[in-house]
Structure 1
Amino acid sequence: MARIVIAPDSFKGTIAAADVAAALAEGWASVRPDDEIVARPMADGGEGTLAAFAEAVEGAVRVPVRVTGPTGFAVDASWLRLPATEDAPGGTGVVELASTSGIELLGDARRPWEASTVGFGQAIAAALTAGVSQLILGIGSSASTDGGVGLLTALGARFTDAYDTSIAPGASGLDDVVKVDLSRLRPLPERGVQVLCDVTNPLLGGRGAAAVFGPQKGLDEAGVARADAGLARLVEVLKGLGGDTVASSLARVADPEAPGAGAAGGAGYGLLVWGAEIVPGAVRVADLTGLAAAIEGADLVITGEGSYDGQSAAGKAPAHVAALADAAGARVAIVAGRIAADTSAVAHALSLTELAGSADAAIGDPATHLRAAGAALAAAF
């Protein structure tokens, strides 16, 4: 009997990580029913972060919350409460931007100027009100480029124009911001806030939030320039805050060049203003879910994501899973929607596109082809 650990990331926009793991496990068991299969779905802060924690942490509880979605309409979402520990006696709250202010909530529409992160901030506020001792925030898959203004507004900040009127939500409001009041910004929980992030982009410039991620949200070339200028205006206004309050001190030290400040349309920067810490998403998720312990004694570890490419090998979830497997002396298999990177270092690599015959077929019914991949890996094993 072999021990098989299945730890994939989500296939973004197609199938969640927990469902990927379940389909692979079903396929494997159809060929080798006596093997021990341990499912540990992964995430790096984006879509599926809540599900990964819910699957791996015993006693985790989903707490429903209704928030303002990126279109301005109500969205039913949830945050996750992890059990109390000695380090976090009030428990840990896990909040995911993707399910509250994420681009997938827009459907086929794109609202690059109006979409905001206010719903994400409302969910964070709900977790704070519930008394958690620390927060883990996943910030992938944002619908907006608002620099975190929306989430900070939901946490008590006020951003106003020359007439002392609140600015419009989303990137469009950044054109008019001239004053920021952080005096009523809610304090961080006692054990702090960690932001899970899989990118290192700064807030501004050619590698910044608008230039790199804006086109995905519908910004054209002129729109990218306008949004980048709006984010730069936000930085200047925040830098100009005076006084000796904790809030203004945080605003002065938040660095727009910090790795991850440009993540999620600048939500990373907004969270730095609040005083949060940005950490590598996949590494922290693995730590909190006990992935290394689960891999100990494994004969094979299966990981993957929708598109396994050069970025995957440079710090995303599959790379970290593979590193943990290698340290434990376990073989590694990659299963992905498409494979466009060197996989010579792993024992097996399967592309759903090749199994299904086309990318459209793979995307149309990923669970079926994941079951086939699991069966194929078991037969090869």
Structure 2
Amino acid sequence: MTGTVVIAPDSFKGTIAAAAAAEAIAEGWRRERPSDDVRLLPMADGGEGTVDAFATAVPGARRMPVTVTGPEGAPVEASWVRLPPTADATADAPGGTGVVELASASGIELLGTPPRLRPFDAHTRGFGEAIAAALASGVSRLVLGIGSSASTDGGAGLLTALGARFTDASDSPIADGARGLATVSRADLSRLAPLPPQGATVLSDVTNPLLGEHGAAAVFGPQKGAATDDVAVLDAALARLASLLGADPDAPGAGAAGGAGFGLLAWGARLVPGSAAVAELIGLDDAVAAASVVVTGEGSYDGQSAAGKVPAHVGAVAAAAGVPVALVAGRIAPDADVAGFAATASLTELAGSSRGAMADPVRWLTEAGAALARSLSDG
């Protein structure tokens, strides 16, 4: 019997992007059930792979290459995705949605392996340059993914690329990164590019404020190379920036991506939970409603995965539609609640170890897809 299968995983962090993971799972599924209609809808929450997910999931999406200034100051080849225009398109605003991710322009992955961490000097200028390129093309709406940041610059770099000017007491432009924020005295937003006609939506699964013990410097600074004594310095630098901009530093998500969330709020953008927004844009609900089986997944499924992560959202959509859902994960932790899944597959168990699974994720995702195809009925 032929079925319709929707494959909608998140990326397997640090191992394989969502689009490639979906392809591998699909290959295994088709090996066991070649007659099934398999639809790939890779998901994202705003981090690395967001652009790839939209390029794969949305018919008519176009990848737009752009060269930007990377987080170390060197040129980086990045891209954004234009989604097809809607009925609101005009001659002056060709329309369509521009999807831009911070990870590919200003992300920590761009600092090498292992990363050359730059807690005071990495910046988001390249992300702003990619946003500016999308604006210049005439998009009517922006969707901005801000995961995987390399910096703690409060979004000053991206705002500078969009036309803002940040200066010190002598009216000289400040240095890029958090180092420059320590001397910032004035913010001139008079030449800041306007938002597109339908605004900008920011995807983030982080709700931290900008400042304080739960803020960008304290929580995420150490991941970007900040030593214990550096955290207070970074927090004070962010506070200087916050005193000059009109956004609320206590807003949920202001601390996301080293404070890039705050900078985007100051621009007028709207922060939303990433998984739900991506699902809406790629038409997940309609695809699931027409499916007989759904497969989702992520790198590590644990006790916190039910709180807003991709598998939880996809699972909720499937449950509402009465469609069975299966889970693929790099590892499934002992504290994970998998009761809502019709079947599960752990790459660690299939490969015999986490090291083996991470060494060849395509192979083991393919095996996981095949295993789930064997175990699940048409529904």
Same fold by TM (over 0.5)? Answer: yes
In the alignment, the residues of structure 2 paired with residue 157 and residue 28 of structure 1 have an alpha-carbon distance, to the nearest angstrom, of 50
For residues 77-96 of structure 1, the aligned pairs below 5 Å read 77-89=78-90, 90-96=95-101
Paired residue for 2:304, among 308, 311, 335? 311
Provide the TM-score with structure 1 as the length reference: 0.94
Q: Do residues 68 (structure 1) and 63 (structure 2) align? A: no
Change in Cα spacing, 1:359 to 1:88, as seen in structure 2 (3 Å) is: farther
* 1:87 Cα offset (Å): 3.7
* Alignment-mate amino acid for residue 365 of structure 1: D
* 1:31 Cα offset (Å): 1.2
* Alignment-mate amino acid for residue 60 of structure 1: A
In the alignment, the residues of structure 2 paired with residue 18 and residue 196 of structure 1 have an alpha-carbon distance, to the nearest angstrom, of 18
In the alignment, the residues of structure 2 paired with residue 139 and residue 302 of structure 1 have an alpha-carbon distance, to the nearest angstrom, of 25
* 1:288 Cα offset (Å): 0.7
The 3-state SS of whatever aligns with 2:144 is strand
CA deviations 1:78-125 (Å, max 9, x no partner) are: 111111102455211111101000010011211111110000000001
2:196 — aligned with what?
189
* 1:354 Cα offset (Å): 1.5
In the alignment, the residues of structure 1 paired with residue 36 and residue 196 of structure 2 have an alpha-carbon distance, to the nearest angstrom, of 43
For residues 339-350 of structure 1, the aligned pairs below 5 Å read 339-340=332-333, 341-350=336-345
1:103 — aligned with what?
108
Higher alpha-carbon deviation: 25-34 or 262-271: 25-34
* Alignment-mate amino acid for residue 48 of structure 2: E
2:348 — aligned with what?
353
Contact 1:312 1:319 survives alignment (8 Å)? yes
The 3-state SS of whatever aligns with 2:67 is strand
Provide the TM-score with structure 2 as the length reference: 0.95
For residues 1-381 of structure 1, the aligned pairs below 5 Å read 1-89=2-90, 90-107=95-112, 108=114, 109-238=116-245, 251=246, 254-340=247-333, 341-381=336-376
Gaps of at least 5 residues in structure 1 are 239-250
In the alignment, the residues of structure 2 paired with residue 287 and residue 196 of structure 1 have an alpha-carbon distance, to the nearest angstrom, of 12
* 1:311 Cα offset (Å): 3.0
Contact 1:88 1:191 survives alignment (8 Å)? no
CA deviations 1:135-164 (Å, max 9, x no partner) are: 111111100010000000000111111111
The count of aligned residue pairs is 367
In the alignment, the residues of structure 2 paired with residue 357 and residue 220 of structure 1 have an alpha-carbon distance, to the nearest angstrom, of 36
In the alignment, the residues of structure 1 paired with residue 111 and residue 265 of structure 2 have an alpha-carbon distance, to the nearest angstrom, of 26
Contact 1:81 1:92 survives alignment (8 Å)? yes
The 3-state SS of whatever aligns with 1:314 is coil
* Alignment-mate amino acid for residue 281 of structure 1: G
1:243 — aligned with what?
none
Contact 1:46 1:140 survives alignment (8 Å)? yes
Taking only the aligned residue pairs, the percentage that are identical comes to 67
* 1:237 Cα offset (Å): 2.7
In the alignment, the residues of structure 2 paired with residue 380 and residue 48 of structure 1 have an alpha-carbon distance, to the nearest angstrom, of 29
In the alignment, the residues of structure 2 paired with residue 356 and residue 371 of structure 1 have an alpha-carbon distance, to the nearest angstrom, of 12
In the alignment, the residues of structure 2 paired with residue 131 and residue 2 of structure 1 have an alpha-carbon distance, to the nearest angstrom, of 41
* Alignment-mate amino acid for residue 52 of structure 1: A
* 1:50 Cα offset (Å): 0.8
* Alignment-mate amino acid for residue 297 of structure 2: G
Runs of 4+ in 1 over 3 A off after TM superposition: none
1:244 — aligned with what?
none
Q: Please give the root-mean-square deviation of Cα atoms over the aligned residues, in Å.
A: 1.1
Gaps of at least 5 residues in structure 2 are none
